[in-house]
């Protein structure tokens, strides 16, 4: 396993991306998908050949759309890979390994829209009722991680664009975790995070 220095770990907790570095990540995402069509695997990258901010360990999701149609969204809640490696890995996975969709086709590439979401460190939300939880949600800002026992799911902040209502957002998150929309229990845990999101 790669050993990471304190400087690199500090960079992962205080991420600020220049536009040119966002462009690098966008380019790597597309190249990884194109590489997948030819070789059946994501493109290989060496993190240490990139700027320090792109070596930062971060949780990442990559979302693919053709027009308005969702074609894949895959990522991780664990900050375990350098940004450049995570983006290439999950761009490929979103294109070819999202079980909800057929694999992307080369014919779709000209209309492909790639969105990269880099997650902040999650923070627990404290609440004593569903009403209190809903009141604490920040539409358009919060991504949420919901867990109750083995059931677990997340919705990115960008999902607020489709589901602006707090009650509906929480109900959809419960369903994403495999629970009933009306589920409630004392063991329910919710964390929130924000994202640096670009496409």
CATH code: domain of residue 13: 3.30.700.20
Question: Do 127 and 65 sit in the same domain of this protein?
Answer: no
If you average pLDDT over residues 21-33, what whole number do you get?
96
Residue 9, pLDDT > 50, answer no
Q: Which residue range forms the structural domain that includes residue 72?
A: 6-119
Q: Is residue 72 part of a domain?
A: yes
Predicted TM-score of the model (pTM): 0.85
Q: Is residue 199 part of a domain?
A: no
DSSP the chain: -----HHHHHHHHS----HHHHHHHHHHHHHHHHHHHHHSSPPP--GGGS-HHHHSB-EEEEEEEETTEEEEEEE-SS--SBHHHHHHHHHHHHHH--TTSPPP-GGGGGGEEEEEEEEPPPEEPP-SSHHHHHHH--TTT-EEEEEETTEEEEE-GGGGGT---HHHHHHHHHHHTTS-TT---TT-EEEEE-EEEE-
Q: Is residue 1 part of a domain?
A: no
Residue 3, pLDDT > 50, answer no
- What does pLDDT average to over the chain? 91
């Amino acid at each position: 396993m790669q050993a990471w220095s304190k400087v690199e770990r500090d960079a992962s907790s205080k991420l600020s991306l220049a536009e040119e570095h966002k462009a690098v990540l966008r380019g790597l995402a597309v190249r990884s998908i194109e590489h997948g069509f030819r070789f059946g695997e994501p493109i290989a990258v060496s993190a240490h050949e990139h700027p320090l901010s792109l070596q930062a360990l971060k949780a990442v999701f990559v979302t693919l759309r053709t027009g308005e149609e969702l074609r894949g969204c895959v990522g991780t809640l664990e900050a375990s890979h350098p940004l450049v490696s995570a983006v290439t890995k999950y761009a490929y996975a979103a294109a070819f390994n999202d079980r909800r969709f057929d694999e992307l086709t080369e014919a779709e590439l000209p209309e492909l829209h790639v969105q990269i979401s880099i997650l902040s460190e999650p923070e627990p939300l404290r609440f004593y009722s569903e009403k209190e939880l809903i009141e604490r949600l920040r539409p358009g800002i919060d991504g949420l991680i919901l867990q109750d026992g083995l059931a677990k799911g997340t919705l990115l902040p960008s999902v607020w664009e489709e589901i602006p209502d707090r009650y509906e957002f929480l109900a959809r998150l419960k369903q994403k975790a495999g629970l009933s929309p009306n589920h409630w229990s004392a063991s329910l845990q919710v964390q929130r995070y924000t994202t640096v999101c670009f496409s």
